[in-house]
Amino acid sequence: MSKLRVSCFTVSLDGYGAGPSQDEQNPLGRGGIDLHRWLVSTRTFQRVHGRAGEGTTGVDDDFARRGDENVGAWILGRNMFGPVRGPWPDERWRGWWGENPPYHVPVFVLTHHARRPLEMEGGTMFHFVTGGIEEALRRAREAAGGADVRIGGGAATIRQYLRARLVDEMHIAISPVLLGAGESLLEGVDLRALGYVVTAHVPSAAAMHIVIGRAPGA
């Protein structure tokens, strides 16, 4: 069955999914890039970014690869799409990723400000959804045609879907870094009360991988 899932979302030891002070030079906020060391080193990440055959295999790569499998559509919060806030001043901002973003499927961007769909190279089409998380999910499921829908983040978007109990599976990686401040993934979200449990945990040298799913009967 088509799942709504979070994969490869990385948090710091102190629970932040991105550092403070996000801007065009620091899409992940100050210190945020350190979070993703485990992922960047993998063969899967290197392949997706045009360096086939490079990178490591093993636990980290297994999670990276599974994260990319069977994804029919993505959902992103607006800050994951870019640093622009408020109404779109124009259509010049086309995402952090250049003309060929690493999605290659429809991507639904949550925003309060309408914008025309944006077709990129390589099969990525950005749709801007102003109707909230359920509308985005409905449209993403439709676009995914039976494959999974993956939430890319950021933390606030994931929290909204968790609170609505709509997430079927969430893989997070805890990186051994301190960000000190930033956007907390789980602050104020009682996953246990929402019916979630840890279904797998696998350590690697670079991160602690955790899979969270619904408790039996939840």
Are 152 and 144 in contact by the 8 Å Cβ rule? The answer is no
Are 36 and 182 in contact by the 8 Å Cβ rule? The answer is no
**Of the candidate residues 110, 174, 183, 213, the single one contacting a copy of itself (CB under 8 A):** 174
Q: How far apart are CA 175 and CA 13, in angstroms?
A: 6
Task: Give me the residue label for tokens 């494959």.
Answer: 147
- Binding residues among 4-63 for a copy of itself as defined by CB under 8 A: 13-15, 31
Query: Does residue 190 bind a copy of itself (CB under 8 A)?
Result: yes
Our CB check for a copy of itself shows the closer of 129 and 185 to be 185
Of 41-49, 60-68, 152-160, 182-190, the segment contacting a copy of itself by CB under 8 A is 182-190
Q: Which two tokens stand for residue 125?
A: 């089409």
Of 104-112, 114-122, 126-134, 168-176, the segment contacting a copy of itself by CB under 8 A is 168-176
Q: How far apart are CA 206 and CA 179, in angstroms?
A: 16
Q: How far is the CB of 37 from a copy of itself (least distance, A)?
A: 11
DSSP H or E run through 49 = none
Q: Which two tokens stand for residue 217?
A: 């009967």
**Of the candidate residues 167, 179, 183, 213, the single one contacting a copy of itself (CB under 8 A):** 179
Query: Does residue 126 bind a copy of itself (CB under 8 A)?
Result: no
How far lies 142's CA from each of 87, 135, 149, 151, 154, in Å?
27, 11, 10, 15, 22
Task: Give me the residue label for tokens 């490591």.
Answer: 56
Our CB check for a copy of itself shows the closer of 50 and 217 to be 217
**Of the candidate residues 25, 193, 216, 217, the single one contacting a copy of itself (CB under 8 A):** 193
Of 104-112, 142-150, 154-162, 200-208, the segment contacting a copy of itself by CB under 8 A is 200-208
Task: Give me the residue label for tokens 């994951």.
Answer: 80
Q: How far apart are CA 179 and CA 190, in angstroms?
A: 22
Closest among 146, 137, 170, 139 to 5, alpha carbons compared: 170
**Of the candidate residues 48, 125, 166, 191, the single one contacting a copy of itself (CB under 8 A):** 191
**Of the candidate residues 198, 213, 217, 218, the single one contacting a copy of itself (CB under 8 A):** 198
- In angstroms, what is the C-alpha Rg of the chain? 17
Of 63-71, 133-141, 147-155, 183-191, the segment contacting a copy of itself by CB under 8 A is 183-191
Our CB check for a copy of itself shows the closer of 127 and 209 to be 209
**Site for a copy of itself, rule CB under 8 A:** 13-15, 31, 172, 174, 176-181, 186-187, 189-194, 196-198, 201, 203-205, 208, 210, 212
